[in-house]
Amino acid sequence: MGPQTAFCKDCLADVVPIDVTYNPKHFFHFGQHFSCPCGEAQIWTNSVRNPKQLTAYIKGEDTSHIHPSGFCNDRFCPICWNSVGAIQNSYMLYSDNGRLRHVEYSPEKRSYFYDDTGEPLKITQDNVRNLSSYDLFGCRGRQHNQSIIMRGFDYEYGEGEYEPIFEWFKTHQNLFPSELVEQMKE
């Protein structure tokens, strides 16, 4: 997952990596903890598959002999460690003078309305470009952490696309838990 892959539906800020944490429910235990400033949208992902490869990359050593397995992009809730997945497709947002607002479609009224005020939104040929559909993601195990809006796969790093993630880890070594540091020495 890249730093612009998701944003929060509450504060509308990007969900960015803030820490390296331990996930007790994943085979590769150490990964990036992403969060928005308000903390309502959080994801744990990009777990380190090969600590020795990370060490070699950080030291600037030749890593061509190491299988480029990079990072695993499974997603978890960093609060309860349940999986994170889509909870609503077509979460509609309307850019209203630069401000994103959630809108709902009413089949009975055959129109959109603002979710926060209930007032109708008239869609015309001039403003239809301001309406965007996203997928809303959240924790599948609890009622918290239900505010993750995914921008789409254009912003996503795929399995094996590890260069930007390696760079983030390289510049954030101060966040490494001692257990990861020990694995990197082995």
pLDDT tens per residue across span 128-151: 888 888 899 999 877 788 999 987
Mean pLDDT of 147-174: 75
Cα distances (Å, whole numbers) of residue 111 to 101, 106, 144, 183: 16, 6, 30, 56
DSSP letter for 157, please: P
Helix %, strand %, coil % of the chain (to 5): 20, 35, 45
Q: Where are the domains of the chain?
A: 6-85+141-177, 90-133
Q: How many helices (H) and strands (E) does the chain have?
A: 3, 12
Q: 99-106 and 84-96: which strand pairing?
A: antiparallel
Chain centre distance of CA 63? 27
Q: What is the pLDDT of residues 13-48, one digit of tens each?
A: 999 999 999 999 999 999 999 999 999 999 999 999
Asked if 9 contacts 147 with a C-beta cutoff of 8 angstroms, the reply is: yes
Please provide the size of the chain in residues: 186
pLDDT at 155: 46
Joined together, the tokens standing for residue 84 give 């994170």
pLDDT at residue 69 greater than cutoff 80: no
- As a whole number of angstroms, the distance between CA 140 and CA 146 comes to 9
pLDDT at 115 over 90: no
- Does the pTM exceed 0.85? no
CB 61 within 8 A of CB 28: no
